[in-house]
Chain A
């Protein structure tokens, strides 16, 4: 004992270590979102899982955020699956006449609650032979009211917005029913003629008769490679309420894949909107727009087809926006576990490189299965963050690999100058997540999320907000399409490509949201699809502005 001496320094270090170790000294950060069901929304995504493991039943369903009645408040459309019998017997019906299986349109009220207007709007009963998948939104006839395109396993439906709170099924006249198994779709103006065209991904050549189960002792869903690949469809808008299927002459039909997700951006800055298709367990497709009505698929040669390890991603959801503020749109693709979600960084000169590890997704996503995805600046710091809904394809995946989970909470990853780090989304409730749509539901300048999950009610992730500044822009095209889809908008050094398309089966708020950080003034530069270049200086932050396309270039 005589040799033992406790110095003041020892006591100090002991004190420091004790005070650091105490759990109550840590302040848990407040989650970003207040997570809750949507008030007044009773919709449940009915996928109808069966013992037969019909592949369709694990794939729905989309959600759209749109202001269908132009009252300034975002409304919500949910696409439902359908009733799948166990086993299915002829004549095959998904009972979509039954209100349980209807798609649902909810109008937002001024108090933030929602009212079901499905029947009144004419959107009830999406056809007994149609099992619902996704949704696209765009004003294809430039009348100022957003129209809705619903994809199905079966026939797709185009609903024209009549401008009086009702919709009319114009599919037959428009000629856009497609057929087969459609997944994500989106409106774009690929030929810059001022009229929105329509792109539809299709998953695979599947039918109830061709259905089979896989797995040994425990049957489960078969991988996409067990069914023939199929083509996506490009419809050209003739401008008279009809569309022409130009899949073959445009070159889109030259490649067969297992398309699930789609996103648009002009990745090489040539003024023409390009198309990216997220394929499941197939090479990803990057259709370069040649500017003459044709496309060249160049995924492999541009570095945006395979994972860094040379594997074919299980591409599901996709977003095509600039995550590292270098002005070039990049690609983020969700996929199945054991490989991170894919990040194709746009290196310029028309080439991409897989940079998921550099971006932080190696840590964030190796065990998860991702579907709907968005790149939005949730904290308004000037860097777009990622939000991904998750959940495995197999409802019995735990029996195959007990490190995986069928139900998972979503992933919120904040962007720190191009590197993503996990943050508390506000929900650790595991769900079989699928669709996700992004928009500012309460018009407070902070981006929110609506998600869907199989067999459950949708969730609202309402952003709690903060002190940083923002700007939200609504484009109004004159020579360009009225929605301004395809415009490149630069605000204080950040770029967004105007589109409602992205995520998985879903359609986002078409308004362009920018986080401005501490900046109270914004400079805006718009390159419209018409070629018009428009610049606005000294725009005040924290406002919603409508920018009409200028008459002169």
Chain B
């Protein structure tokens, strides 16, 4: 992105109105441009510096000097000449654009913001705002930038980070302003859960429940803490209350069904999982658990659910698990060839996913 801007700037600079430049300085400017073309950045910088000494009011010379530093990757050195160029010609958009990028690249995100705002560089502006602790503003600008370049991996990455940061910021505000509120305890519980501090997380959720026993979602989260600890009986208890509070919540029904499945209560599990599937059809986790819950008692229903998982998930790891479960059903039915084919799919998906998985440190 930066390189394209540099060439655009050269053209724009020709259009700008500036005081006349002494002939000797022009010669040095030309020789600097020639050196730049030969990729001899050291010589170019030396020529531009001498030209700048001879023509201290010529914005174009400082702009070229700053540009050469940026090409060299020395963003800190680029800042003073670009700053001077912008001061000499406050309306020069290229000067602001370069200066904004130079500030951002050198780590001065807050200083970059006004320059990037001026030139509507939404992507870089969003990044600068994120780095300056303004995640809400960053989310807005990054989304504007993504509207133009929807598949830019850098923008997607920074938007993800901005979202996380925004979430953390609002939770920080919640905790500092209302630490003893139900939501405060819930937020702490969530953090402890992520850190795998399950007993501590349970305590926080219980404090939240003591304050607001009917708060939707609380029991769903508490149940997940119990589930992560494989305490399925307590998980079931919480999910069951949640499904009573939110009878239309597909996730709550799925979680309850899964907790029942883990306890071997297959019939009850299948009922809850079917309910979840009716509330939100084609949720692959629900279908997979439904396949497992009915594999012994109703193999045709299990087969149907597992085939839907494969349709939805394609080559993702859950599809591999669905093939594995299907192979088990077919093996039991004596359909050995079909089971063998499904096991081949299991191996293929496992191999593909292991290639995709990050290598261990």
Contact = CB atoms under 8 A, between A and B. Distances in A.
Interface string A353-367: 111011110110111
A396 interface: no
Contacts of B346: 300, 310
Chain B contact residues: over half helix, strand or loop, or mixed? Answer: helix
B199 A347 contact: no
Contacts of B263: 357, 360, 362-363
Given A308-B325, A347-B332, A367-B229, A402 B264 contact: no
Nearest to B197: A402
A300 B343 CA distance: 8
Interface size range of chain A in the complex: 20 to 34
A402 B233 contact: no
Interface of A: 225-226, 300-303, 306, 308-310, 337-338, 340, 347, 349, 351, 353-355, 357-360, 362-363, 365-367, 400-403, 419
Leading 7 A-B pairs by shortest Cβ distance: A366-B230, A362-B262, A403-B198, A351-B331, A310-B321, A403-B229, A353-B328
Given A300-B343, A362-B264, A403-B196, 8 more contacts: A301-B340, A310-B317, A353-B328, A363-B262, A367-B231, A400-B196, A402-B196, A402-B197
Contacts of A403: 196, 198-199, 228-229
> Which of A310, A340, A363 has most B Cβ within 10 Å?
A310
Nearest to B196: A401
Could you say which of B229, B340, B360 has the most chain A C-beta atoms within 10 Å of its C-beta? B229
A201 B49 CA distance: 74
9 contacts: A226-B360, A303-B327, A303-B331, A308-B325, A310-B346, A351-B332, A358-B266, A366-B230, A402-B197
Interface of B: 196-200, 228-233, 261-264, 266, 292, 295-296, 317, 320-321, 324-325, 327-328, 331-332, 334, 339-340, 343, 346-347, 350, 360
B264 A359 contact: yes
Nearest to B327: A303
B199 A337 contact: no
Contacts of B228: 403
Nearest to A366: B230
A346 to B, nearest CB: 11
Contacts of A354: 328
A200 B200 CA distance: 45
B197 to A, nearest CB: 6
A349 B340 CA distance: 14
A70 to B, nearest CB: 45
Which of B200, B325, B328, B346 has the most chain A CB within a 10 Å cutoff?
A: B328
A353 B317 contact: no
A215 B190 CA distance: 24
A366 B264 contact: no
Given A310-B317, A310-B346, A347-B332, A337 B230 contact: yes
Contact of A358 (B199, B296, B317): B296
B105 to A, nearest CB: 31
Nearest to B318: A310
B203 to A, nearest CB: 13
Nearest to B230: A366
A300 B262 CA distance: 23
A301 B343 contact: yes
B318 to A, nearest CB: 9
B300 to A, nearest CB: 16
Contacts of B229: 366-367, 403
A367 B230 contact: yes
A37 B352 CA distance: 52
Given A301-B343, A303-B331, A367-B230, A357 B264 contact: yes
